[in-house]
Amino acid sequence: MKQAKTLTDAELKKVIAFCHSRKYALRDQTMLYVSFYAGLRVMEIAGLLVGDVYDEQAQVRDRFLITGSQTKGGYAREVYVNRKLKRALENYQPVIEDRTQDQPLFCTQMGTAFSANSLCQLFLKLYADCGIKGASSHSGRRTFITKLANTGVNVRLLAALAGHRHISTTQRYIDVNDAQLARAVELI
């Protein structure tokens, strides 16, 4: 099975900019940011509720729990919200201000929750429409893990952030390129 493309910063900017031309620009951008800055799978993004991410005063949480029913492996985990994601979620807050804590964070044009499959198709369309070849719904997650690994984050921490039970799973997400190899040998 071919792995999802790890996106460059320029490609992320391109797809985010492309979202501006869409009817649901803020929703689409925010879902992409959740993928890229929290490393969530599409099924996890689709399963998010307003109360998972925002407290009762509609403030973005610094971290939130996704339950086992929302994850691939069936294990709950905490998701940490970095500055960039927090800013995106704060910008998204007006979209959800009329929703209750137990309603979906991201809704389709029909006002219902996304299924994992429908969200996967949306991500594929976004990438294809802006000309990014090889990208899929897993590209944000793969980019999240690879970028953290490139900064020197320990693979055990990466596994915890990704919700992987085994570091060998996490290691398969990390792309290696010539620039990284050249920097690595200069450490000696």
The per-residue pLDDT for range 69-81, each reduced to its tens digit, is 677 777 778 999 9
H or E element at residue 18 = helix 9-19
Per-residue pLDDT at 56 exceeds 80: yes
H or E element at residue 44 = helix 42-46
- β-partners of residue 80 are 63
Report helix, strand or coil for 184: helix
22-42: per-residue pLDDT in tens?
999 999 999 999 999 999 989
- β-partners of residue 54 are 60
Report helix, strand or coil for 82: coil
CB 82 within 8 A of CB 37: yes
- Report the pLDDT averaged over residues 100-110: 95
CB 103 within 8 A of CB 49: yes
For the entire predicted model, the pTM comes to 0.87
Q: Could you give the C-alpha distances from 75 to 34, 47, 68, 71, 105, in angstroms and in order?
A: 19, 14, 4, 6, 21
CA distance 45 to 185: 38
Tokens of 34: 């959740």
